[in-house]
Structures are given as structure tokens and as C-alpha cells.
Amino acid sequence: MFTRKQTRALKIGSVDLGGGAPVSVQTMANADPHDAQALVRQAVACAEAGADLFRLTVPDIEAAKILGEVRRMVSIPLVADIHFDWRCALAAIEAGTDALRINPGNIGGKERVRAVARAAGEKRVPIRIGVNLGSIEKGLPRTPEGLVDSALRHLKLLEDEGFRDVAISAKASNVSDTIAAYRMLAEKTDCPLHVGVTEAGTFLPGTVRSAVALGVLLEEGIGDTIRVSLTDDPVKEVRVGVEILRALGLRERGAAVTSCPTCGRTKVDVKVVAEAVEAELSKMRFKGGVPRVAVMGCAVNGPGEAKDADVALCGGDGEFLIYVKGKHAAKVSQADAVKKVIEYVVSIS
């Protein structure tokens, strides 16, 4: 197991960030920032999918007031995303945001940065410095080195005001630059790092790019919170993020489902059954160990997976054999397979 880089400890609402705390998953609303009910629905859905933090854009004072309404209706910690107008940051703090995401360099001069830092400090609201390669300030090279330089300049603006509850993100839209930037940041600061590939793309390419970059960085112990940025439903961002953490052994939320890719030997619909099992298990919460479920198409790999899984389906000719803790338990039709798997999972959980 890799060693996590030690970073300073922050607290965003009920979520610990840095200081050895578990890596958290976050996402960002894409609903109208002035529609409280739509934001609440997204926040609740994302929390149920496994999100730990939920970010909302605050483009104006009215949106800050809406954030306050959302804050009163959801339990997941909220992060206010601020650009250009320092007054929106102050309004979001007053409305009860749990954290801010800003670029200190684009909200005005030192006096405005000082005002935001003072207000955030009084309310114990952490600030994430978020810089992206695509919008790096003039005068800096569009390189990982320029990205890190930008982030550290912004960090100095806050630390000069005595504000240290800071996390940093320094994202690029390609994998190599993202990895390079975060490796440099991890050497130069002890701030918690929010890692991700910005503007990663639509679901499939965005998932692949994010998984590659985040997998490399997290395996090296770099990263305290992650976001998978997809041109898609925020809930999908969360699910991909959770799966990345689970793949690295950093999270055990939800049952783990193993399924085979199928081949010409398969005489059951593994895809339909595996997806249905995943959907049902995603609704469940487990107090003890997380069960492992296998859905296999034939007798080649099925028996071996059955020995390792808590509950396993091994396909036959239109039917499945069910194994529980390595022992044969039942034979069921494909139509009854999902229901029986859930029954056995419940019985051993």
C-alpha cells in the first residue's frame, strides 16, 4: 500500500480534509444557481451516490442567497464557487457556505483579498485556490510549471493575510500536464490537494482521462479530495470518483461487483443481470464488511470467482448456479437471479 503525503488538516462542514483523512469525493451542480429546488435535488442525489462535498456556482448576490436556502435543506457540505466579484464571496460566507473556491488573483487587489480572508477566518470557512491551465493569468507560461507558479502566488496572497485554511487545485485538460503539476505542488506545499482533470470531456473519454490521472496521483499518495469533471450528470461524476477510490482500496462504500466480459460460451445475459445487481446493491448500506458479488457467464472462470466472492452467480444454459461463501446454494433462472442474489447478500450482511 502506498504512503499518503501528509498535508495540513482542514474541516469543511462535517468532512475532514487533509491531515490523513480519507480521500473525499466531490462534484459540482449544473442546475440553475437561482433554482433552490433543483439544486437541492442534485445535492441529495449526489450525496446518495457517495459525494462528500457539493459545489455550487455563485455568480451574483442572489445566487448566494439561494445557496443559503440550499444549506438549510441538505446535509452535505457546500462549496461556493466564486469568480471575479469578491462581494459574492462575502455573501456566500454570510449565507452559510462551508467552503469557498476562488482565485485570489481575479477578485481584485489586496484589500479585497484581505476582506475575504478576514470574513472566512471569522467563520472558519476554508478556501480552495483553484487554478486551471486554460485560464492561467497573463505573463505565465501555459505549462505545468506556470500552473504551479500561479497557484503558489495565490497561496501567498492568502498566507500574507494570516489565512492558512487553504486547499489547492491546479488542473489541466490533459493527463500528462495534470500529473506533472500535482507532483510539483506536492513537493512545494503542505496544503491539501484537490485533484482532477479539468474539462475532461464526455462520459467515456472523461472517465478514462480522469481515472488515468487520478489513479497515478493517488497511487503516489498525492490527493486529499477528487472531482471527476464530466460533461454529464453530476451523479455520474460521483459514481466514477467513488469507483476510482474503491479500485485503489481507498473506499469501501457499496458492494463490489465483479462480472466477466462474456464470450461465445455465454448462454445467459451477464450484462443485464450484472447491471441490475449493481443497481439494487447501490441502494443498500452495509454496517459490517462490504460484500463482494460476482456475476460470471460460464464455468471457465465462474467456479474460481465463486470461491473468492461472498455471493456468486455462475451462468449455465439460461440459468445460474448461486454460490455463497464458496459453497453451492441454489440454481435459479435468469429471471429470478437478481432477486435471489439480493436475498443472499442480505442474509450474510
What are 49's strand-pairing partners?
Answer: none
Sign of the C-alpha dihedral, residues 152, 153, 155, 160?
positive
Q: Is residue 67 part of a domain?
A: yes
Residue 146's alpha-carbon distances to 63, 74, 134, 137, 192, in angstroms, are 32, 38, 11, 9, 20
Q: Is residue 1 part of a domain?
A: no
Could you read off the pLDDT of 244-267 as tens digits, one per residue?
A: 998 898 887 666 788 888 888 888
Q: Are residue 172 and residue 240 in the same domain, yes or no? A: yes
Q: Is residue 100 part of a domain?
A: yes
Euclidean distance between the first and the last CA atom of the chain, given in angstroms as a whole number: 27
Residue 64's alpha-carbon distances to 47, 92, 119, 162, 170, in angstroms, are 21, 5, 15, 25, 25
Q: Which residue range is the domain that position 284 belongs to? A: 256-348
Q: Are residue 223 and residue 308 in the same domain, yes or no? A: no
Q: Is the pLDDT of residue 103 over 90?
A: no
Q: Is residue 66 part of a domain?
A: yes
pLDDT value of position 9? 96
> What is the residue whose three cell numbers read 466579484?
85
Q: Are residue 302 and residue 206 in the same domain, yes or no? A: no
Q: Is the pLDDT of residue 289 over 70?
A: no
Q: Are residue 117 and residue 199 in the same domain, yes or no? A: yes
**Going along the chain, which residue ranges are E strands?**
10-12, 15-17, 24-28, 53-57, 78-81, 99-102, 127-132, 166-171, 194-195, 225-227, 256-259, 292-296, 311-315, 319-324, 327-333
CATH of the domain at 308: 3.30.413.10
Domain boundary among 216, 247, 278: 247
Q: Is residue 26 part of a domain?
A: yes
Q: Are residue 102 and residue 232 in the same domain, yes or no? A: yes
Task: Determine the 3-state secondary structure of 200 from DSSP.
Answer: coil
Q: Are residue 217 and residue 260 in the same domain, yes or no? A: no
Task: Determine the 3-state secondary structure of 191 from DSSP.
Answer: coil
Q: Are residue 233 and residue 317 in the same domain, yes or no? A: no
Could you read off the pLDDT of 195-219 as tens digits, one per residue?
A: 999 888 899 999 999 999 999 999 9
**DSSP, residue by residue, 263-309:** -TT--S-HHHHHHHHHHHHTT---SSSPPEEEEESSTTTHHHHHHHS
Look up the pTM and report it: 0.87
Instruction: For residues 38 and 131, give the distance between their C-alpha atoms in angstroms, rounded to a whole number.
Output: 28
Q: Is the pLDDT of residue 189 over 80?
A: yes
The number of domains in the chain is 2
Domain boundary among 192, 226, 247: 247
84: left (phi over 0), alpha (psi -120 to 50) or beta: left
Q: Is the pLDDT of residue 298 over 70?
A: yes
Tell me how many degrees the CA angle 100-214-276 measures, rounded to the nearest 5: 100
CA-wise closest residue to 152 among 197, 122, 186? 186
Q: Is the pLDDT of residue 284 over 80?
A: no
User: 247, 223 in Cβ contact below 8 A?
Assistant: no
Q: Is residue 2 part of a domain?
A: no
Q: Is residue 145 part of a domain?
A: yes
Instruction: For residues 156 and 113, give the distance between their C-alpha atoms in angstroms, rounded to a whole number.
Output: 11
Average pLDDT score over the chain: 90
Residue 288 pLDDT level (bands cut at 50, 70, 90) = low
Q: Are residue 120 and residue 165 in the same domain, yes or no? A: yes
Q: Are residue 218 and residue 265 in the same domain, yes or no? A: no
Could you read off the pLDDT of 114-155 as tens digits, one per residue?
A: 889 999 999 999 999 998 887 777 888 899 999 999 999 889
pLDDT value of position 259? 86
